[in-house]
Structure 1
Amino acid sequence: MTRRVSVWGGAFWIGRRSREAALAAARGLDELGYDRVWTSGGFADGFPPFYDDYLAATSRLGFASGIVSIWHTAPEETAAAVADLERKYPGRFLLGLGTSHAPVVDARENTSYTRPYSRMVEYLDSLDATAAPVPAERRVLAALGPRMLKLSADRAAGAHPYFTPAEHTALARQTLGDGPLLAPEVAVVLDTDETTARGIAREYMRSYLSLPNYSNNLRRLGYTDEDVAGGGSDRLMDALIPWGDLETVVAGIEKHYAAGADEVAIQVLTADPFTFPIEAYRTLATALLG
């Protein structure tokens, strides 16, 4: 599979920042040659409404949901929305589905985070039974553990792991086998000041380490309770988040390709998590896109 270089950005959720700024950033990434933009839809009710805006504003850039929560969106709604995007922009939208997280799901009225794997299987069955089913090759699953990774290979085009070091990418490739898409998110900090870089990285890590899916996955990889406590140890940070100068950051990204990733969704971290660091992406493009 051809190596792809993509972007992951929470700021692309229109409504957190101005629509005009978001569309301008997307056009900038399109011009730079990135393959795709991933943006989260995991905490919203219903299928995100803004992918049409992005696809209309760009010429070739793909978009992916990273992720649409199966607890928050009905299969019929998802299938209809994806079919509409495919009709208008063939081959440019990729559906990312995920089980979200217990603290998020349990906070909803009349919803309980039980049997998430079985719930995903049921959701895929329902998706396949709709009037306009989403083909397996046009969907991926957010996957960390071996069962969900295997399901990603069996029932989807592949997997989109989030908040994982390169050793997880290697294990994920072994589980998926050759062929299925493996597109991990990789957060980076382009800053050579250690205090600043670690401060930005730790703020990002803190919220994710509070979610059991992520912290338990890291424990499976051999990280300790001390590593995942208090915003994360420096050892864990250095494994998860390449930081420093361009050469160091690119080397960290390349570890995931070497471990078996077909696509890396790069998330540039800054002091403002909902900004569009287009100049940083321009710098990375010179090194990664030629």
Structure 2
Amino acid sequence: MSTPVKEAVGRYGIWSVGLRSEDPDRRGELAEAAAELEELGFGAVWLGGSSSAAHAVPLIEATSTLTVGTSIQSIWQHEPDASGAAFAELESAHPGRFVLGLGVSHARLAEQYRRPYSALVSYLDGLDAAGVPADRRVLAALGPKSLRLTRDRAAGTIPYLVTPEHTAHAREVLGEGPLLAPELAVVPETDPVRARALAREFLEFYLSLPNYTNNFLRHGFTEEDLKDGGSDRLVDALFAWGDETAVRARIDAFFEAGADHVALQVIDGEPRDALPRKTWRDLAALLLD
């Protein structure tokens, strides 16, 4: 019997687009990075972009205890039966090491995007039929309906680009049992102007996606906060930046709001598929020593 997801992922994880690279020339680099993250003490890595079980394989093979999850696998890109087959194959080879993180993505990114909530419910029905247990899948839930669906049909939620206030709301909806594992972007910069500039450069794309902007509006922000790359108030709520004390305080705010696990994404101005291993080490020294 595998360890429950909530226990397996530990308190801290790393969220990364780079770790899902399909470039065969980078396979050794990815394996080395994953092994180091495990050695540093991180409990999980979450593969950004539209990732799948196939992207998790090289990282799982390179480690012995690290949990690897998709964050997220788009329901529009993989049929439930294919997802079930991939899950079963990976589970057979490495029991308890993979978590299927699912989401509806965005209308701008998926041509088929229609009635996303109903589509997600149907997808979960398909996963049930394909033998993927509810306690090994998590949902990228933002709104109340999706959070209730998480509570009833998944092991937990992996919300992206959220605030501690959203985390508190999510915990209230979920109750104590399900995993609540928000992603949090960390900008390793102490200068306010530079830190906020890096954050706004990253945030620009997401401010064009209604799923995120509607969520900000639900949790106390205004249309003014969404203009010009995001207000200081919005940026400071969504990103951890500053010295070690400030970064630690921002991370701790999510735990105080009810998070079980925080998935840290480094935003440093480098390409998104880079592996910011020095900053990962710095975060480990700050959080895991």
Question: Which residue identity does 1:274 align to in structure 2?
Answer: D
What is the CA distance between 1:282 and its match in structure 2?
Answer: 1.3
Give the match for residue 29 of structure 1. 37
Name which of structure 1's ranges 47-56 and 235-244 shifts more when overlaid on structure 2: 47-56
Q: Distance between the aligned counterparts of 1:51 and 1:180, measured in 2?
A: 23
Question: What SS does the corresponding residue of 1:257 show, helix, strand or coil?
Answer: helix
Q: Distance between the aligned counterparts of 1:207 and 1:23, measured in 2?
A: 30
1:82 is the counterpart of 2:87: yes
Give the match for residue 228 of structure 2. 230
TM-score (normalised: structure 1): 0.93
Give the match for residue 13 of structure 1. 20
Q: Distance between the aligned counterparts of 2:20 and 2:180, measured in 1?
A: 23
> Which residues in structure 2 correspond to 1:128-147 (within 5 Å)?
128-130=128-130, 133-147=131-145
Deviations 1:163-182 (A, max 9, x none): 00110000000000111000
1:218 is the counterpart of 2:213: no
Q: Is the 8 A contact 1:41 1:48 kept in 2?
A: no
Query: Out of 214, 223, 247, which is 2:245 matched to?
Result: 247
Question: Which residue identity does 1:23 align to in structure 2?
Answer: A
What is the CA distance between 1:48 and its match in structure 2?
Answer: 4.9
Deviations 1:46-90 (A, max 9, x none): x45221111001121110000101111000110111111111111
Deviations 1:24-63 (A, max 9, x none): 2111101101000001242x7xx45221111001121110
Q: Distance between the aligned counterparts of 1:265 and 1:65, measured in 2?
A: 12
- Shift in alpha-carbon separation, 1:196–1:20, aligned structure 2, 3 A: farther
Q: Is the 8 A contact 1:140 1:152 kept in 2?
A: yes
> Which residues in structure 2 correspond to 1:61-100 (within 5 Å)?
61-100=66-105
- Shift in alpha-carbon separation, 1:18–1:195, aligned structure 2, 3 A: farther
1:288 is the counterpart of 2:284: no
Give the match for residue 64 of structure 2. 59
Query: Out of 197, 205, 220, which is 1:207 matched to?
Result: 205
Q: Distance between the aligned counterparts of 1:78 and 1:15, measured in 2?
A: 18
Give the match for residue 158 of structure 2. 160
Question: Which residue identity does 1:222 align to in structure 2?
Answer: G
TM superposition outliers: structure 1 runs of 4+ over 6 Å: none
Name which of structure 1's ranges 6-15 and 165-174 shifts more when overlaid on structure 2: 6-15
Question: Which residue identity does 1:166 align to in structure 2?
Answer: P
TM-score (normalised: structure 2): 0.93
Question: Which residue identity does 2:65 align to in structure 1?
Answer: R
Name which of structure 1's ranges 133-142 and 269-278 shifts more when overlaid on structure 2: 269-278
Gaps of 5+ in 1: none
Q: Is the 8 A contact 1:70 1:99 kept in 2?
A: yes
Question: What SS does the corresponding residue of 1:265 show, helix, strand or coil?
Answer: strand
Taking only aligned residues, the RMSD between alpha carbons, in angstroms, comes to 1.5
Deviations 1:212-248 (A, max 9, x none): 0000000011211121122211110000101011111
Q: Is the 8 A contact 2:53 2:86 kept in 1?
A: no
What is the CA distance between 1:198 and its match in structure 2?
Answer: 1.4
Give the match for residue 148 of structure 1. 146
Question: What SS does the corresponding residue of 1:192 show, helix, strand or coil?
Answer: coil
Q: Is the 8 A contact 1:250 1:284 kept in 2?
A: no
Question: Which residue identity does 1:14 align to in structure 2?
Answer: S
Give the match for residue 254 of structure 2. 256
Give the match for residue 271 of structure 1. 269
Q: Distance between the aligned counterparts of 2:55 and 2:169, measured in 1?
A: 34
Question: Which residue identity does 1:86 align to in structure 2?
Answer: E
